[in-house]
Structure 1
Amino acid sequence: MKLESVLGQPALFQLTAEADVPTELSERERRLLVGALNFHALTAPGREIDAHVYDGTWELEPRTTDDATFDGLSRIFRKRLYSLRFRSTVEPEDRRHIRAEAVADAMIDLPQRHLYVSSDAALDFDPPRHLARDPLRRVLRAVRARTPLLYDEARDLELLRHRRSYAKPAARRQYDKEFTGKGHHATSEIVPVGPAEEGAIPAVLIGIHWFELGGAERWAFETIRLVREAGFLPIVISGRDSHQPWITRAELDGAVIIPFSEHIARSQTPGVEQLLRGLLRSFDIRGVVVHHNQWLYDRLHWIRRSRPDIPIVDSTHVIEYRGGGFPVSSVMVDGVITAHHVISPSLKRWMTQVQGVPASKVVMAPLGGLTVAPRDAQFRPRRDGTPFTVAFVGRTARQKAPEVFVEMVNRLGDAAAEMRFILHGDGDMSAWIDDIIRNEGLVDRIERRSSRVPVDDTLAESDLLVVTSHNEGLTLTTLEAISHGVPVVSTDVGAQSDLVPARALVPRNVHRAVAGLADKVRWLAADEDARRQLWTDEREAEKRLLAAQTASSWFAQEVGSW
């Protein structure tokens, strides 16, 4: 397979003379468009197709690969911006088609595709996943903004019924049985793909959650970089709807990118896997890496059937309270995974002791050195004449509980007047958090910063980092803060206790967390010696943790053997 270069990106298609692509597309918009056309080129080998690209508003996330992009049966596709014709350069496959893929064949045979690529202007708004689109939801959002902790308490009660699911061994997937008897896919059959084309480019398939800010994503992008350094072409598939702001990162330069839009179902026949068979035929896939991508987890058995000898590794960070999340997905397909990478000792214990995964398959390698250069960190004393500065750094998402930080500031009362507070991050809950800040009268007290501001800048101004998470693995921000000479206080979640001593931990229950964190802030603002000793103890714990092989070092060795 010879990759074309289209709009500055590796492509599996050629634009025909009829193509009229606007020259003013941004780098992000070009990568989304090329990624969408790569998907359709792989699923329709050798075909010539007309693609229509439509306009939309910021509330609509890109539509690149979902079922509606084949038939255009969506109100999304109303205002056409431009059209282009492309020809797939993927070689058609000579094989028998099974009856179950008739629906997919009919979609793939359609002569047109319908795409929506959001403009960069959409990045100025909060992600639209939790928009209150009807009057009732808007009322509920207003209530939540006025009583955020009561809402969190109610949510915790609802989550109690899910907790047994990750405290007992997960059932392993029985892939073959799904295609027999009363199995989910009994009307289909498993059709492995043949060998790759002669002279195919050596590549590694990498599944990520999305191209957005996050600790897991930082690590995913590091593995993409290491794959390229090892001499392989990275093929990167994202699994979730998003405006994909990180799709322009340098780690993706030269990579084949396929940004999914949900839902992909009818075009991908179980057991046939039209997209993956196109990739496995076109490239010499030497390994598979999974980072929180459920779509790829669901297809690892098929990949193993088609390529029995290639390594398949995954990386997990945190056990979710609702059903266990991606670690449970990983355990369910343990039979076809070569190695499970985990970032903390507590997650390794869960994998081996609760889930019964052989210890030889579980690699504990922390994410050291990812976001700050390794150095001999030193405690940074408070600066004379400046207020005690307390920071929150993280996504404004449910898991990170930024509302707890806001309520902690409110709980501090008059003591907060002598301090400075920075809430650094953006995400699904940004607008809701801003509502809470306004309702509490804290607009002038809490400085809001988006992810466009470097985290290093915020930590350089901070005297204390507060981690408020409802659920967590081991936060990268904790490692970053310690490396900047800043101590950390945290809710007692996930593997935070591997770094943060008990005296700086508080319960995860939101009301107790607010009270406890406020007490810790008062204590450390008033006692510089205690703040120094806390950092010293956390630095020693960080050294012990990072004495183990780091994730980057382990993965470089792993992919180097492929």
Structure 2
Amino acid sequence: MNPTSELGQPALFRIVSGSDIPNDLSERERRLLVGALNFHALVAPSRVLEVHVYDGDAHQLPRTTDDTTFHGLATSYRNRLFSLEIESLVPAENRQPIAAEGPAQELRAGRTRHIRLTRDAVLSADPPRDVARGRLRRAARAVRTRWPLAYDTLRDIELLRHRKPLHAPIARLDYPSLFAPGGIHEDSEIVMAPSAPEGAPRAVIFGLHWFELGGAEHWALESIRLAREAGFLPIVMTSRDSHQPWIQRQELDGAVLVPFSEATTSSQTPGVEEVLRGIFANFDVRGVVVHHNQWMYDRVAWMRLSRPSIPIVDSTHIVEYRGGGYPVSSAIVDAYLTTHHVISPSLKDFLVDVQALPAEKVLMAPLAGLTAGESDMSFRRRQPGEPFTVAFVGRMARQKGPELFVKTVSRLRARGHRDIRFIMHGDGELAGWVDGMIAAGGLQDVIERRSSADPVAATLERSHLLVVSSHNEGLTLTTLEALTHGVPVVSTDVGAQRDVLPPRALVARRAHRAVRELTERVAWLAGDEAAREQLWLDERAAEKHLHEVTSASQWFAEEVSTW
């Protein structure tokens, strides 16, 4: 089990025929393909499948596991690249199916599968997530484009109705009751995973959000590396649509990958869990780690019932204003988790004080050592004649508030601060929109744009101040990295940023006020070198204090060694 396929990746299948497979597939493209075929090998054990592989453009995300891959009834399956036959190496179970499996079995019964890849050229374009569908969404998009701060204000008002879990404990999941009469799965039943065979590879399952740039993803990849060093085979499953640019990272070398495409629904039977059954039946699973993966949260209880003694660890970074986000998902399934790992004191307080989780189950271990330069560094002084440079580093996504940064730049220019230069470092689904804002404001010569292909360290080495303009955050890795490069940070007062930054470095989260206060802070620090240095000294001291406790890497290395 787990041979290396002809495509050079750990696989749960073998290729029976595939003479027209292109020999110019990149590492990313091969891993996407193997990951999709791994999924279909798991849900069609011991069967031979005919697989047609299609090309997608920049406006189409890969289709690897969702229901359309079973029937191909979608207009996007047009441009066929090649076809192949595979044989699943996952042994079939000898058991009596339950009645509720019928619809899922019917979908999976076909011999043909349809997979859409995207070639590496799409990575230079914005991912197609910011698509306005329907009149209301198109109207909202128009408002956001023309009046971004007004849109942010309206969205904050809309979010008020989702705030209950931010102030009161969420109801806990009683998994068996879902299958009792009157439950949402009353027509199904819970079928436990069979035992793995003697000598099966020892494995750890990881549930990730996606393979893209992000602080949570940095830490997820580090935990995968540590599990591999401890002698385990990582089985890595993602839950979100993406071009998956990070699937080629070296931390994933030798791992079994299953990158999902949304939504994988009809092919799975509640209580049976065909994908996870295949994994548990063929690997000696010693533990499970969840990193912001809702598909996995929804199946934590089934995994616990199937393997009562294994550790199931959750790792969360950020409380979302819309219903609390993943920490609330974690609280819902608390009874089935072993440990809640959090990266900041503020998040621990939320889970213990607001969500009423047992304090002994919540472990705070910060993400020390995941950024470049762990040793003490000196303050980044401004050299004679050097323009004061302010950086934004992050994904071009709504959460990161890039529009607040652009509006701050515009406001500073309007106030006569024409000697300040700016860098916006990052890409993402809003990159085109942000570039349009910059052009509309005549700021192309003021704001230097850099992509995620550029080293963050190189940006920070040219900067004197980092601005974090996020609408929501945990404790950003960019904050920690800036401090190690001698650069102080000013941030919106969100998430756990206040665990490191003093009050004078924090501004209001609300959009209009945030822009006003960011303008004031940047202007102040651009003109007061002593104040800027003292801010960095205070932030560096707070960071060192935070990191006096065991780091996430140290904790997990010790934890996984016991599995």
Q: TM-score, normalised by structure 1?
A: 0.98
2:380 corresponds to 1:380:
yes
Residues 371-450 of structure 1: pairs in structure 2 closer than 5 A: 371-412=371-412, 413-450=414-451
**Equivalent in the alignment of 1:517:** 518
Contact 1:145–1:433 (CA under 8 A) maintained in structure 2: no
Confirm or deny that 1:282 pairs with 2:260: no
What is the number of equivalent residue pairs in this alignment? 562
- C-alpha separation in 2, matches of 1:142 and 1:458: 32
Q: Does 1:349 align with 2:349?
A: yes
Cα distance, 1:18 vs structure 2: 4.8
Residue 101 of structure 2 corresponds to 101
- Per the alignment, residue 467 of structure 1 pairs with 468
- Residue 166 (structure 1) shift: 2.2
Tell me the residue number matched to 1:153: 153
Q: Which residue of 2 aligns with 1:488?
A: 489
The alignment partner of 1:31 has SS state of helix
- Contact 1:146/1:436 (CA < 8 Å) preserved in 2? no
Deviations 1:217-275 (A, max 9, x none): 11111111111111101000000000000000000111000000111111110000000
The one-letter code matched in structure 2 to 1:93 is E
Are 2:125 and 1:163 equivalent residues in the alignment?
no
Aligned to 1:327: 327
Q: Contact 2:140/2:151 (CA < 8 Å) preserved in 1?
A: no
Alignment match, 1:207:
207
Q: How does 1:294-305 map to 2 (within 5 A)?
A: 294-305=294-305
Pairing 1:8-407 to 2, within 5 Å after superposition: 8-132=8-132, 141-407=141-407
Secondary structure of residue in 2 paired with 1:37:
helix
Partner amino acid, structure 1, of 2:499: D
CA distance in 1, matches of 2:16, 2:218: 37
Secondary structure in structure 2 of the residue aligned to 1:493: coil
In the aligned structure 2, how far is the partner of 1:142 from the partner of 1:169?
37
For 1:524-557, what per-residue CA distance to the aligned partner results, in whole angstroms no more than 9, with x for missing partners? 1111110110000001000000101111111111
CA deviation after TM superposition for structure 1 residue 416, in Å: 3.1
SS of residue paired to 2:202: strand
Q: Which amino acid aligns with 2:75?
A: R
Residues 303 and 139 of structure 1: CA distance in aligned 2, closer, same or farther (over 3 Å): closer
What is the rounded CA distance, in whole Å, between the counterparts of 2:485 and 2:81 in structure 1?
A: 48
Checking the alignment, whether the CA contact within 8 Å between 1:4 and 1:13 is kept in structure 2 is no
Map Cα deviations across residues 417-458 of structure 1 (whole Å, 9 max, x no partner): 101100111112111111211222212111111111110010
Q: Using the TM superposition, give the Cα deviation of residue 55 of structure 1 relative to its aligned residue in structure 2, in angstroms.
A: 2.4
SS in 1 for 2:5: strand
Preserved contact between residue 5 and residue 15 of structure 2 (Cα < 8 Å): no
C-alpha contact (below 8 Å) 1:466/1:489 kept by paired residues: yes
Structure 2: how far apart are the matches of 1:134 and 1:186? 34
Percent identity reads 61
Listed one character per residue, the Cα deviations across residues 74-118 of structure 1 (whole Å, up to 9, x for unaligned) are 222223221100100111111110000011112222111011011
Aligned to 2:418, what secondary structure does the other structure show? helix
User: What secondary structure sits across from 1:16 in the alignment?
Assistant: strand
Q: For residues 342-375 of structure 1, give each alpha carbon's deviation from its aligned partner in whole angstroms, at most 9, with x where no partner exists.
A: 0110110111111111111101011111021311
Change (3 A) 1:442 1:18: closer
Give the drift of 1:142: 4.5
Structure 2 alignment gaps of length 5 or more = none
User: What is the distance in 2 between the residues matched to 1:296 and 1:252?
Assistant: 19
Distance (whole Å) between structure 2 residues aligned to residue 534 and residue 341 of structure 1: 30
Cα-to-partner distance string for 1:179-230 (whole Å, 9 max, x where unaligned): 0111110000000011101210001000000000111111111111111111
* Amino acid aligned to 2:516: A
* Residues 1:528 and 1:173: Cα distance change in structure 2 (over 3 Å): same
Deviations 1:307-344 (A, max 9, x none): 11000001001110111100000000000100000011
The one-letter amino acid of 2:473's match is E
Residue type of the alignment partner of 1:346? S
Q: How far apart in 2 are the matches of 1:354 and 1:268? A: 34
Contact 1:145 1:435 in 2 (8 A): no
Closer/same/farther in 2, CA of residues 137 and 304 from structure 1, 3 Å limit: closer
Q: Work out whether residues 71 and 114 of structure 2, in 8 Å CA contact, stay in contact via their aligned partners in 1.
A: yes
Decide whether the 8 Å contact of 1:19 with 1:85 is kept in 2.
no
2:558 paired residue number? 557
* C-alpha spacing 1:499/1:352, structure 2 compared with 1 (3 Å): same
Question: Does the aligned pair in 1 maintain the 2:367–2:553 contact within 8 Å?
Answer: yes
- Unmatched 5+ stretches in structure 1: none
Q: Counterpart in 1 of 2:458?
A: 457
Taking the aligned partners of 2:404 and 2:417, their CA distance within structure 1 comes to: 15
Residue 478 (structure 1) aligned with residue 479 (structure 2): yes
Q: Which amino acid aligns with 1:546?
A: H
Contact 2:56 2:62 in 1 (8 A): no
| Cα separation, 2, equivalents of 1:50 and 1:471 | 45
Q: Normalising by the residue count of structure 2, what TM-score does the alignment of the two structures yield?
A: 0.98
What amino acid maps onto 2:474 in structure 1?
G
Query: How many Å separate the matches in 1 of 2:172 and 2:71?
Result: 36
- The amino acid across from 2:90 in the alignment is V
1:7 aligns with 2:13: no
Change (3 A) 1:162 1:133: closer
C-alpha distance in 1 between matches for 2:358 and 2:56: 49
In structure 1, how many angstroms separate the alpha carbons of the residues matched to 2:121 and 2:18?
28
Which amino acid counterpart does residue 557 of structure 2 have in structure 1? A
SS at structure 1 position matched to 2:17: coil
